[in-house]
């Protein structure tokens, strides 16, 4: 029986403190060969909340797990109703200064790659076309029966047709695109099956309690091996899916640098953690290095 995934983490009293000096990050970027690993904190300036920061969604919301989604039709109804509403917020989100700076560093040849834990597609929208979406993308859905992939927008149209007039007011939207709705607001929301085989549809994202596809992990590990350093942006590194790459880099003697306001589970492996806002800090670093940000 699988245990419930780790959602929260608290630093020990002797945890390394953060700094406001971005000089080590500037030196790493200036030398090139940097691999970026980004988390939900990078997208907060685009209006998408994070999980664990101040006001993070985990303070009020328990994300759907893979086990719940696959085992319960009621859970799937709740998920798709909330996702249908949350999609409107995600659809309005645009890349922020942090995403644009990362894309600019890539164009300048300072990065060897980008790995993102986010499912919002904002790295690609900003121009980081080769970004590895570690946890998948909300822009796609997959049938658990036949394996067919399709666009989320197509499913949205089918759900609208099946649920005319569905327009409740959500109290909040979460980083996984799940809007906060009560059971009463979900009501008798109708879920539609796979158009090809009638099977169960799932967003093409890695739920809590689900494993990242092994071939994707292997690709990311190869990127870590090829990089000169690892730069973590906006992630608490609470879950192992991202922390393992920090540990890999540190064990290989590669500098790990973190920009995140709050302590992270990877701080002990890092050269520094810069506790500053991401958008402004990355923009300032770009200016210092003479990198043009669109």
Among the residue ranges 61-70, 137-146, 192-201, 260-269, the one predicted with the least confidence is 61-70
133 is in an annotated binding site: no
The pLDDT of residue 240 is above 70? yes
pLDDT tens-place string over residues 22-51: 999 999 999 999 999 999 999 999 988 775
148 is in an annotated binding site: no
Active site residue 61: no
Q: In the structure, what pLDDT confidence band is assigned to residue 7 with cuts at 50, 70 and 90?
A: low
Residue pair 238/10 in contact (Cβ under 8 Å)? The answer is no
Q: What per-residue confidence (pLDDT) applies to 63?
A: 77
72 is in an annotated binding site: no
Which among 61, 99, 123, 135 is annotated as catalytic? 135
Q: Where does CATH 3.40.50.1220 sit in the chain? A: 20-48+95-135+212-294
In whole angstroms, give the CA distance from residue 286 to residue 294: 11
In whole angstroms, give the CA distance from residue 109 to residue 115: 16
The pLDDT of residue 185 is above 60? yes
State whether the Cα torsion 42-238-264-30 is positive or negative: negative
CATH topology for the 58-92+140-205 domain? SIR2/SIRT2 'Small Domain' (3.30.1600)
Q: Where does CATH 3.30.1600 sit in the chain? A: 58-92+140-205
The pLDDT of residue 233 is above 60? yes
CATH class of 20-48+95-135+212-294: alpha beta
pLDDT tens-place string over residues 132-141: 999 999 999 9
In whole angstroms, give the CA distance from residue 287 to residue 294: 12
């Amino acid at each position: 029986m699988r245990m419930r995934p780790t959602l929260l983490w608290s630093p020990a009293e002797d945890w390394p403190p953060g700094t406001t000096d971005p000089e080590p990050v500037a030196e790493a970027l200036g030398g090139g060969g940097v691999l970026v690993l980004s988390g939900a904190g990078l997208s907060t300036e685009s209006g998408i909340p994070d999980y664990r920061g101040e006001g993070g969604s985990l303070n009020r919301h328990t994300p759907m797990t893979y086990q719940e989604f696959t085992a319960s039709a009621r859970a799937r109804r709740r998920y798709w109703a909330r996702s249908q509403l949350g999609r409107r917020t995600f659809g309005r989100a645009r890349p922020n200064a942090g995403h644009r700076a990362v894309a600019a560093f890539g164009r300048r040849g300072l990065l060897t790659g980008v790995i993102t834990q986010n499912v919002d597609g904002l790295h690609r929208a900003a121009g980081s076309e080769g970004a590895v979406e570690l946890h998948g993308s909300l822009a796609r859905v997959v049938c658990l029966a036949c394996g067919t992939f399709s666009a989320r927008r197509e499913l949205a149209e089918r759900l609208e047709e099946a649920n005319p007039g569905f327009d409740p007011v959500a109290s909040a939207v979460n980083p996984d695109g799940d809007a906060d709705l009560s059971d009463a607001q979900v009501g008798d929301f109708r879920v539609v099956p796979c158009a090809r085989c009638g099977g169960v549809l799932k967003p093409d994202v890695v739920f809590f309690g689900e494993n990242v596809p092994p071939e994707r992990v292997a690709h990311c590990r190869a990127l870590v091996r090829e990089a000169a350093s690892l730069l973590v942006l906006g992630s608490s590194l609470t879950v192992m899916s991202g922390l393992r790459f920090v540990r890999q880099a540190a064990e290989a003697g590669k500098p790990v640098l973190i920009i995140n306001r709050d302590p992270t589970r990877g701080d002990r492996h890092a050269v520094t953690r810069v506790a500053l806002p991401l958008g402004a800090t990355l923009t300032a670093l770009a200016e210092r290095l003479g990198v043009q940000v669109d």
